Structure 1
Amino acid sequence: MTISTLSNETTKSGSCSGQGKNGGKGFTYGKKCFTKEEWKEQVAKYSAMGELYANKTIHYPLKIQPNSSGGSQDEGFATIQTTPIEPTLPRLLLNYFVSMAYEDSSIRMAKELGFIRNNKDIAVFNDLYKIKERFHIKHLIKLGRINEAMEEINSIFGLEVLEETFNATGSYTGRTDRQQQQQQQFDIDGDLHFKLLLLNLIEMIRSHHQQENITKDSNDFILNLIQYSQNKLAIKASSSVKKMQELELAMTLLLFPLSDSADSGSIKLPKSLQNLYSISLRSKIADLVNEKLLKFIHPRIQFEISNNNSKFPDLLNSDKKIITQNFTVYNNNLVNGSNGTKITHISSDQPINEKMSSNEVTAAANSVWLNQRDGNVGTGSAATTFHNLENKNYWNQTSELLSSSNGKEKGLEFNNYYSSEFPYEPRLTQIMKLWCWCENQLHHN
């Protein structure tokens, strides 16, 4: 949509009763009057960045474009024909549907973007991203059918995919801060095989308590449960104090009947045990398993694409660049605020705790929100602005800040199933988390 079109549409909404300062007809927007030329400048300012990524003809006010000597030219308008670049929002949606294993929605969105053209493409698309298989596994976990889910994982991917180990040498105290953080993250959500086995134990106890006459086979059930724990969980639990605590807490469920009715005389479950019986626990573990499966299949997807064996792009895109780089252009303050403030780039090699304690990080986070409503226009060219945006991976900063912020609030709490591997979490989910995080920062500061 060009500026002239926007101007015509706005004219219909209302006009000023008087004449503008230049004698032209006035326009009203947000209870403020503009002359025709002023309105064109405002529309050009706020639509240039977005329209540059929509393959449109844009009329730039010449006063915001530098001339050959570096100064600004006189007022006027120049036309620039942009090159076609794929819209960001449809890619974000497709990334969400594929990551969450929503088959129908993924196929429909892929068709709209032109990735799928026939039924053969649908079959190849499903096979590449394992959408059906991942959805079925998630569905089984959410239903509490853990054994069936593990059998499905074993037959398609292999259970070893859930038993990723942390590759670090030396004692824990001799490791770098980054290695210690990686070890802590692995302790929380690394061994998903153990979490599934433990969840299966919880479901066994739940099923036993839901029986009408639980006293009849109670002894046999307890013996079977102990045998299951010894065969499946004991070795894994003995390797970690945290895992042993989780196993002990799960076994405590045997002491509390599931029903809390008054006539049964049962005691109300403590909060920690209620969390184990929570249906949301199934969903959290199902999402963690799904992300782990995405991490497992992603190298094969990259290999197929790099060897031109696939007609589909990398929709998982763990480096966060292709899907998210265009999204940032809608906020020009990410590069420079109108008062000249800049976001300091954070090195990915710097430990997260150092980043969070650094004053530069605080300034960087706050500078994004400075002067959002400032009407001044910078003198740098739009092309330079976009080039700077695409050459800085600010999304890595956001992920690390969010992860570190969550870690400081929650720490390494017992039964922490909220952790997520950011590279394989849907970008749309990350954006919503970013929005919530920014809202909290604004309220706290």
Structure 2
Amino acid sequence: MHHEENADAALDREINNLMMDYFITEGYPSTARIFAAESNTQPEADFEAIKARVEIRECIHRGDLQTAIEKINELNPQLLDTDDSLHFSLLRLQLIELIRACTSKTSGNVTNSPDISTALQFATTHLAPLAPTNPNFLADLERTMALLIFPTDNLAPQLAELIDPRLRKSVANRVNEAILGSQGSRREAQINKLLHMRVWGEKAAIESKKIDIPDAGLGFGLDERPAAAGRGRTEQNGNGVMGSQAPAEGDGDTAMREGNGEGEMMVS
């Protein structure tokens, strides 16, 4: 009996550590503090560093790329200099936001053309010099510039995904992972890795034995069925709209929900 109690306590500690690791890695400092108090878990984290990552993420989510890039450079001046792909993704997203702004000003007004000079100047100054260094950069820049030609309410799928809010989230996730890596931390929460392994295991089991796997409903944006495992060119380039998602509201047994309006999660 005593052995079973010790085993249960050890399992509880492992689960609590997994959850704490998720909150810290994904950038939920307030939730981490609350969970630490309620679960008697000691977080090993620099909460000021987490706060800096949260501020950068929120800037990207609301489309303020200039502030996000400035904050990244303040946190780690070498990060974007040593990661051309991430730097290009941020600049391209900033260009998309400029195009979105200049085209929305004249939306529905057929008498005026949008003032695209700001977007063109930005593309010429910041993105054009990078484009020749990578074929993917050039293709992505050309596709982005096509947003200036076609109306936003009638875009082909490969262009529509550029103005999809999920692109902001995807870039924000990449920035978060890059900052964590530069600080010597894991780029991805342990629980996300476990869920990726589960999806991989399901796919392998279904393909090899043709068996049906019950849906565990774990949430965390990683619980897709293996049949939808294909990846598009955009995602392969590292600039796509698909990325790991935070748990959806009401998902999972922990009953986590959006809390304070700052992207923070609350544990009930």
TM over 0.5, shorter chain: yes
Residue of structure 1 in register with 2:188 after alignment? 425
Q: Is the counterpart of residue 442 in structure 1 residue 179 in structure 2? A: no
Q: 1:214 to 1:437 in 2, by over 3 A?
A: farther
Q: 2:143 aligns to what SS in structure 1?
A: helix
* Aligned equivalent of 2:35: 109
State the SS of the aligned residue for 1:164: coil
Q: Report if the CA contact (8 A) 1:163-1:191 is conserved.
A: no
| Structure 1 match to 2:159 | 273
- Aligned-pair Cα RMSD in Å: 2.6
CA distance in 2, matches of 1:192, 1:276: 16
Amino acid at match of 2:13: P
How far did residue 162 of structure 1 move? 2.3
Is 2:60 the counterpart of 1:148?
no
Partner of 2:141: 247
Tell me the CA shift for residue 292 of structure 1: 0.5
Match of residue 204 from structure 1: 98
**2:173 alignment partner in structure 1:** 287
* CA displacement at 1:51 relative to structure 2: 4.9
CA distance in 2 between partners of 1:224 and 1:131 (Å): 34
Equivalent in the alignment of 1:163: 81
Bigger Cα Rg: 1
Conserved 8 A contact 2:56-2:68? yes
Q: Give the distance between the partners of 2:167 and 2:65, measured in 1 at CA.
A: 13
Structure 2 residue runs of 5 or longer lacking an equivalent are 209-268
1:51-90 residue pairs with structure 2 within 5 A?
A: 51-52=6-7, 54=9, 87-90=13-16
Query: How has the CA–CA distance of structure 1 residues 440 and 211 changed in structure 2, closer, same or farther, with 3 Å as cutoff?
Result: same
Q: 1:214 to 1:223 in 2, by over 3 A?
A: farther
Alignment of 1:274-353 (within 5 A): 274-298=160-184, 316=185, 318=186
CA contact (8 A) 1:96 1:427 kept: yes
Which residue type is aligned with residue 71 of structure 2?
E
Distance in 1 between residues matched to 2:195 and 2:160, nearest whole Å: 28
Are the aligned partners of 1:163 and 1:192 in contact in 2 as well (CA < 8 Å)?
no
Counterpart of 1:29 in structure 2 is none
1:193 to 76, 84, 87: 87
- Deviations along 1:158-214, one digit per CA (max 9) or x if unpaired, are 2x312325xxxxxxxxxxxxxxxxxxxxxxxx5211100000111111122222448
Aligned to 1:321: none
Cα drift, residue 229 of structure 1: 1.2
Name the % identity: 27
Displacement after TM superposition at 1:226 (Å): 2.1
Name the structure 1 match of 2:123: 229
Query: Partners in 2 of 1:441 and 1:224 — Cα distance?
Result: 50
Return the offset for 1:216.
Answer: 3.7
Per-residue deviation, residues 224-249 of structure 1 (Å, max 9, x unmatched) = 32221121111111111110111000
Does the aligned pair in 2 maintain the 1:54–1:87 contact within 8 Å?
yes
Which letter maps to 1:94? M
Higher RCO, 1 vs 2 (CA within 8 Å, ≥6 residues apart) = 2
CA distance in 2, matches of 1:270, 1:229: 22
* Letter in structure 2 aligned against 1:275: E
Match for residue 26 of structure 2 among 100, 111, 114: 100
Q: Following TM superposition, by how much is the alpha carbon of 1:136 offset from its aligned partner in structure 2, in angstroms?
A: 1.1
Name the aligned partner's letter for residue 441 of structure 1. A
What is aligned with 1:131? 50
How many residue pairs match? The answer is: 205
| Mapped partners of 1:214, 1:296: distance in 2 | 48
CA shift, 1:2, in A, is 4.0
Q: Is the 8 A contact 1:164 1:191 kept in 2?
A: no
- Partner amino acid, structure 2, of 1:440: K
TM-score by length of 2: 0.69
Give the Cα–Cα distance (whole angstroms) in 1 for the partners of residues 30 and 69 of structure 2.
Answer: 24
- 1:114: how far off? 4.7
Cα distance change, pair 89–114 in 1 and its aligned pair in 2 (3 A): closer
| Distance verdict in 2 for CA 1:162–1:113, change over 3 Å | farther
User: Which letter maps to 2:204?
Assistant: Q
What is the SS of the residue equivalent to 1:144? coil
CA distance in 2, matches of 1:230, 1:291: 29
Structure 1 unaligned segments of length 5 or more: list them: 4-46, 56-84, 166-189, 260-267, 299-315, 319-423
Matched residue type, 2:105: Q
Contact preservation (8 Å) 2:20, 2:36:
yes
Q: TM-score, normalised by structure 1?
A: 0.43
